[in-house]
């Protein structure tokens, strides 16, 4: 990711979710972006989650996390998850792989991450 | 701990002490740049950087204890803005007893602190005076009105944890019980007021919990996500066969063990895995963390927690491997470590115990989500107990300073630039030797996490 993309991504997220929903923090050269409420799909529990996006100019893609305890739309815990520490906080990391490049934009990345929770495992 | 505590990693504390406790015509001033975190109901400030003023920066006006050019503060302000850190002006009144800001200090603080807060919002700022053994300040904490704090606590990292002032335990202990350890411990309050977290409560951790309780530690926080089975009975201190039948959580077995010892130690069991939210909150509240875990990912998390919040971390581990050998030779290698990780000193990344390659190998090159944990590794209680006992001795040093309490990093030197506190077990030879380790000057893990505190969320 280029530094320009990081700056633009924060702005795009503000436009999409509103200023009140977006908070940022610096963490060792990375930009942490917290979206306070991302709506998931019918059946997911809880139905919405705080989402953390880690925008690291040294990495090709953002990293994405949700609040620990998030369940899938089928009511089960997602497979291959683990609680990890980011910025001194606990977040749920989940297996998630999509072909993505900067030109596709951050909103498409978030949409794909949300889709992970309609899968059944 | 009082409501606000400033923690100074190894090296930075010594730098600050040398900068402000100087004998001269005027007081000396340093700028301490800090991160912060909320721990329970308290605010912890963690020093990231010390910037001193040069002789030319002072103005000799003959009126104030110290007066300096406004431009002399620019490097500190610019650095704080760049790294998103709070700014504290620190000076000293070099005598024992209570420290208090003078009216002149306070007037200066009331001018400077709002200016710092305007430059770096969301972080704490202040002006602090250090006495010998006490501190006070004028502090502006995030979302609070600026106020005078006369019971500011200072925690220096050195050979031991040095607290100004020494905290008082909530409950005094029966002196007779601990009489025979008094020669080493000194004031039992050092232990009775302490909170030690033990992560991993089986072969190594159960020994640690047992010994800490006998020593009279005030609070032991025990963390483990597992229940017991029969394969634990040969090494988990305090376990009974019925625990295997009932699949008792290891935290529950430790709670029973602590209660049965009867020295008054409070046990807080946390049935969870590092770094789940409840575990993370519990660990942040500890004075020392002891890690008795069986994998590198958990070690990496504990290392990060320790560095972020400036908490000493003692890591223990034993590894037993088969060894092809002739009939009368040793058929195993038995290695192990006791690492005493003092924030500001060497970390597990500096010393090569952790690396991206080693972490990737633990998950077969996949992400953390694929980590399954280790099962069935060889363990023998006597070797676990050996390293666990040494770990408890290291905790004893950190809390009581029986080997000394210097905050000068050179007091921890083994030889050359090697720091003491990297002990290696050779269980076949029967040795536990300090090999030492050194801090890597450009260690990315130290740069990223030492004194980083918690993320500070701001409007974009």
Q: Determine the Cα angle at B107 with ends B103 and B113, to 5°.
A: 130
Task: Give the pLDDT confidence of B258-272 residue by residue, as tens digits.
Answer: 999 999 999 999 999
User: How close is the nearest chain A Cα to the Cα of B123, in Å?
Assistant: 12
More confident residue, B124 or B371: B124
Comparing alpha-carbon positions, the chain A residue that sits nearest to B308 is: A88
Task: Give the pLDDT confidence of B48-70 residue by residue, as tens digits.
Answer: 999 999 889 988 877 777 889 98
Where are the extended beta strands (E) located within A1-121? Answer: 22-27, 30-39, 48-55, 63-66, 81-86, 89-94
Do B449 and A28 lie within an 8 Å CB cutoff? yes
Do B457 and A24 lie within an 8 Å CB cutoff? yes
Comparing alpha-carbon positions, the chain A residue that sits nearest to B459 is: A23
**Mean pLDDT of chain B, nearest integer:** 94
Where are the extended beta strands (E) located within B190-295? Answer: 195-199, 219-223, 266-270, 288-291
Q: For testing the chain A interface, which of B369, B444, B450 should be mutated: the one with the most A CBs within 10 Å?
A: B369
Give domain B175-449's CATH architecture: 3-Layer(aba) Sandwich (3.40)
Comparing alpha-carbon positions, the chain A residue that sits nearest to B449 is: A28
What is the model's pLDDT at position B175? 81
Asked if residue B289 lies in contact with residue B199, where contact means CB atoms within 8 angstroms, the answer is yes
Candidates B96, B105, B149; CA nearest to B124 is B149
Q: CA A50 to CA A66: how far, in whole Å?
A: 6
User: How close is the nearest chain A Cα to the Cα of B66, in Å?
Assistant: 35
Give A119's pLDDT tier (boundaries 50, 70, 90).
Answer: confident
pLDDT surpasses 80 at B373: no
Comparing alpha-carbon positions, the chain B residue that sits nearest to A63 is: B367
Give B374's pLDDT tier (boundaries 50, 70, 90).
Answer: low
Q: Nearest by CB to A25, which of B309, B370, B458?
A: B458
User: How close is the nearest chain A Cα to the Cα of B187, in Å?
Assistant: 34
Asked if residue B189 lies in contact with residue B214, where contact means CB atoms within 8 angstroms, the answer is no
Task: Give the pLDDT confidence of B112-137 residue by residue, as tens digits.
Answer: 999 999 999 999 999 999 999 999 99
Instruction: Kindly report the pTM of this predicted structure.
Output: 0.95
Do B454 and A89 lie within an 8 Å CB cutoff? yes
Can you say how many angstroms the Cα of residue B300 is from the centroid of all Cα atoms in its chain?
A: 15
Which positions in chain A have a beta carbon within 8 angstroms of at least one beta carbon in chain B? 10-11, 13-14, 19, 22-29, 32-34, 68, 80-90, 93-95
Task: Give the pLDDT confidence of B320-365 residue by residue, as tens digits.
Answer: 999 998 889 999 999 999 999 999 999 999 999 999 999 999 988 7
As beta bridge partners, residue B337 has: B317, B424
What is the token pair recorded at B432? 């536990």
ipTM for the complex shown: 0.93
DSSP B106: H
Do A27 and B448 lie within an 8 Å CB cutoff? yes
Can you say how many angstroms the Cα of residue A56 is from the centroid of all Cα atoms in its chain?
A: 13
Mean pLDDT value across residues B378-384: 96
- What percent of chain A lies above the pLDDT cut of 70? 100
Candidates B331, B17, B334; CA nearest to B162 is B17
* Chain B residues within 8 A of A66 when measuring between CB atoms: none
Domain edges within chain B: 4-157, 175-449
CB atoms within 10 A of CB B330: 12
Domain edges within chain A: 3-118
As beta bridge partners, residue B7 has: B46, B155
Q: CA B49 to CA B318: how far, in whole Å?
A: 36
Of the candidate CATH numbers 1.10.10, 3.40.50, 3.40.140, 3.40.109, the domain formed by B4-157 belongs to 3.40.140
Candidates B195, B205, B201; CA nearest to B288 is B195
How many interchain CB pairs under 8 A, A with B?
Answer: 79
């Amino acid at each position: 990711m280029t530094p320009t993309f990081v700056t633009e991504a924060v702005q795009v997220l503000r436009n999409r979710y509103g200023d009140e929903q977006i908070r940022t923090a610096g963490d060792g050269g990375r930009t942490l972006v917290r979206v306070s409420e991302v709506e998931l799909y019918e059946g997911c529990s809880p139905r919405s989650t705080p989402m953390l996006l880690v925008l690291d100019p040294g990495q090709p893609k953002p990293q994405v996390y949700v609040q620990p305890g998030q369940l899938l739309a089928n009511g089960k815990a997602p497979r291959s998850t683990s609680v990890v520490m980011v910025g001194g906080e606990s977040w749920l990391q989940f297996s998630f792989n999509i072909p993505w490049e900067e030109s596709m934009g951050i909103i498409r990345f978030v949409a794909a991450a949300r889709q992970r929770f309609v899968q059944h495992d | 701990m009082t409501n606000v505590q400033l923690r100074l990693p190894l090296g930075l504390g010594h730098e600050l002490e040398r900068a402000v406790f100087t004998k001269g015509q005027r007081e000396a001033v340093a700028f301490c740049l800090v991160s912060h975190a909320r721990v329970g109901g308290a605010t912890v400030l963690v020093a990231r950087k010390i910037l001193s003023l040069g002789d030319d920066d002072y103005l000799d006006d003959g009126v104030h204890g110290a007066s300096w050019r406004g431009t002399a503060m620019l490097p500190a302000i610019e650095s704080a803005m760049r790294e998103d850190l709070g700014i504290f002006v620190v000076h000293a009144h070099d005598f024992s007893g209570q420290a208090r800001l003078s009216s002149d200090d306070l007037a200066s603080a009331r001018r400077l602190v709002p200016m710092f807060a305007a430059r770096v919002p969301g972080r704490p700022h202040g002006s602090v005076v250090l006495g010998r053994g006490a501190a006070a300040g004028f502090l502006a904490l995030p979302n609070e009105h600026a106020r005078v704090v006369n019971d500011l606590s200072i925690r220096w990292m050195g050979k031991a944890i040095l607290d100004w002032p020494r905290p008082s335990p909530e409950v005094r202990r029966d002196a007779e019980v601990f009489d025979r350890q008094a020669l080493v411990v000194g004031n039992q309050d050092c232990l009775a007021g302490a909170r030690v977290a033990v992560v991993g409560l089986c072969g190594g951790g159960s020994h640690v919990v047992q010994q800490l309780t006998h020593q009279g530690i005030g609070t032991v926080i025990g963390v483990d996500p597992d229940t017991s089975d029969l394969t634990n009975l040969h090494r988990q201190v305090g376990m009974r066969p019925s625990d295997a039948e009932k699949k008792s959580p290891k935290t529950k077995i430790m709670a029973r063990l602590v209660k049965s010892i009867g020295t008054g130690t409070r046990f807080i069991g946390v049935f969870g895995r590092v770094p789940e939210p409840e575990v993370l909150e519990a660990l942040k509240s500890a004075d020392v963390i002891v890690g008795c875990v069986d994998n590198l990912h958990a070690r990496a998390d504990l290392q990060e927690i320790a560095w972020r919040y400036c908490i000493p971390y003692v890591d223990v581990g034993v590894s037993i491997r088969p060894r092809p050998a002739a009939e009368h030779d040793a058929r195993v290698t038995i290695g192990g470590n006791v690492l005493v990780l003092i924030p500001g000193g060497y970390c597990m990344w500096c010393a090569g115990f952790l690396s991206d390659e080693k972490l990737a190998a633990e998950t077969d090159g996949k992400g953390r989500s694929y980590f399954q944990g280790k099962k069935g590794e060889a363990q023998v209680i006597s070797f676990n107990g050996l390293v666990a006992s040494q770990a408890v001795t290291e905790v004893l040093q950190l809390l009581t300073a029986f080997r000394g309490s210097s905050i000068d990093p050179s007091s921890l030197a083994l030889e050359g630039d090697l720091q003491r506190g990297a002990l290696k077990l050779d269980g076949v030879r029967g040795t536990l030797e300090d090999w030492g380790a050194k801090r890597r000057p450009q260690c990315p893990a130290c740069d990223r996490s030492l004194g980083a505190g918690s993320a500070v969320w701001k409007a974009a």
